[in-house]
A and B are shown apart, each in its own frame.
Chain A
Amino acid sequence: MGEEVKLIGARGSPFNCRVEIALKLKGVEYEFIEEDLANKSPLLLKYNPVHKKIPVLLHNGKPIAESLVILEYVDQTWEGASILPQHPYERAMARFWAKFIDDKCMSALWNACWSKGKEQEKAIEEANELLKLLENELKDKKFFGGDNIGLVDIVADFIAYWVGAIQEVTGAEVLTKEKFPKLFEWAREFINCSIVKEKLPPRDHLTGFFRIKLEAPDTLKYNPQVR
């Protein structure tokens, strides 16, 4: 049976990365189409007319948008390692934490990394509260998913990798070994997983991109062109 899987994305995006990790986990072959977000293609506008954002998964010509929706779709459609746990209660907990990361952590961490002065102090305080909750949730597990990566680990890719790159550029100290030893260790384990490592954008690409952003402060508001 011929199966066509394409991913319209942008390699610097953590939302895009989530989907690439998931597809790799399931051993799905796909064609990657890099989108220039400053100049959106007719393809993207056709397949995600509602939000006009990446990533968009195309499975046999049918588009699915929103990274969390795509992750659930990938888990349900293909055999292989599970992204979500089996038991309904465990699944609910995974979805709860994934939502927590998406709704609260992404923008708070972004702001904590990029803001300055008094605003940054307040932003870091807020980020600390959220990271503490994640640190507690991790407990003594290697990953949020247990022995293997799962939904929450994948959704937290921004925390594991992007935050470190931004910190390198701005000098912000949001996620450090001293403040959050478990989370720090989790991040290290996560980015060193062979499946994840292969799909992360090169560190110097990210820092290069963020250095440019540092020079253009009006682009710093949290307004992801990606989902």
Chain B
Amino acid sequence: MEEVKLIGSWPSPYGYRIIWALNLKGVKYEYVDEDLSNKSQMLLQYNPIHKKIPVLVHGQKPIAESTVILEYIEETWPHNSLLPKDPYERALARFWIKFIEEKSPTFMAFYVAVGEEQEKAIKEAREQLKILEEQGLGDKKFFCGNEIGLTDIACGWMATIDVIEEIVGVQVLDSDSFPCLHAWINNFKQVPGIKEDFPDRDQILAYYKHKRDMFIASTSS
């Protein structure tokens, strides 16, 4: 059995994607937390191109980029399938993963914005979330049906959006406008493998509040 190591950096949502996928596959791994302000030789060796986390190292071979790692995990440990078997359904799963990747900055822009820019950021986020709600998820339990999959994992950060909303003092993903995504968040957090390794609310509240305070201070001086 080859050794599996995950290099991440708490509380990165990209790192969590890999933690969740490995949990759902029942794969044992060693977790190494990286200080991104002082990147280790190991990280620079394993991801010389981007120098970012997460990096999965399997039997000494490194894989970088979370969506690439997710596909690798699915193919290397094919039990407890996280992608549909049907090629068309699989294509849809990947389409929505790509959508979530691309729109992440739009979804989260309100966290780093203030005033008028923030209002604009919230409006744009809600527009894209509406597309995800109506066309991506609809009334399915998870993005690909009744079982959790890679698309849900890629979207997992959304399960902590309430923390960001609280810090910023706005509501973006309200349950009236987004009933399906709200139901999805509740279902997602209950899945064994996700539940046990879900970021602690108080800890991430403190972390993201601190980050936003620093950001506001640096832009207003």
Contact = CB atoms under 8 A, between A and B. Distances in A.
A92 B88 contact: no
Interface in A61-103: 62, 64-66, 68-70, 72-73, 76-77, 88-89, 91-93, 95-96, 99-100
A99 B72 CA distance: 14
A76 B90 contact: yes
B3 to A, nearest CB: 14
Contacts of A92: 63, 68-69, 71-72
Nearest to A78: B87
Most buried by A among B68, B91, B95: B91
A69 B94 contact: yes
A49 interface: yes
A225 B88 CA distance: 24
Contact of A89 (B64, B72, B87, B135): B72
Given A92-B69, A99-B68, A73 B91 contact: yes
B162 interface: no
B131 interface: yes
B98 A68 contact: yes
Contacts of A50: 99, 131, 135
Contacts of B67: 95, 99
Interface residues of A, number: 24
Interface in B77-104: 87-88, 90-92, 94-95, 98-99
A224 to B, nearest CB: 12
B69 A69 contact: no
A92 B95 CA distance: 18
A88 B88 CA distance: 21
Mostly, the B contact residues are: helix
B88 A59 contact: yes
Interface in B26-55: 49
Contacts of A72: 90-91, 94
B65 interface: yes
B75 interface: yes
A212 interface: no
- 4 nearest CB pairs, A to B: A88-B75, A92-B72, A73-B91, A76-B87
A69 B91 contact: yes
A42 B66 CA distance: 35
Interface in A126-181: 133
A66 B63 CA distance: 23
B76 interface: yes
A76 B74 CA distance: 15
Interface string B115-157: 0000000000000000100010000000000000000000000
Most buried by B among A68, A89, A99: A89
A73 B98 CA distance: 14
Contact of B65 (A68, A88, A96): A96
A68 B65 CA distance: 15
A70 B94 CA distance: 10
A116 to B, nearest CB: 28
B221 to A, nearest CB: 28
Contacts of A100: 49
A77 B87 contact: yes
Given A77-B87, A92-B69, 13 more contacts: A65-B95, A68-B94, A69-B95, A72-B90, A72-B91, A72-B94, A73-B90, A88-B76, A89-B58, A95-B68, A95-B71, A96-B64, A96-B68
A49 B135 CA distance: 9
Contacts of B95: 64-66, 69
A49 B99 CA distance: 13
B72 A133 contact: no
Contacts of B195: none
Contacts of B210: none
A73 B92 CA distance: 10
A173 to B, nearest CB: 24
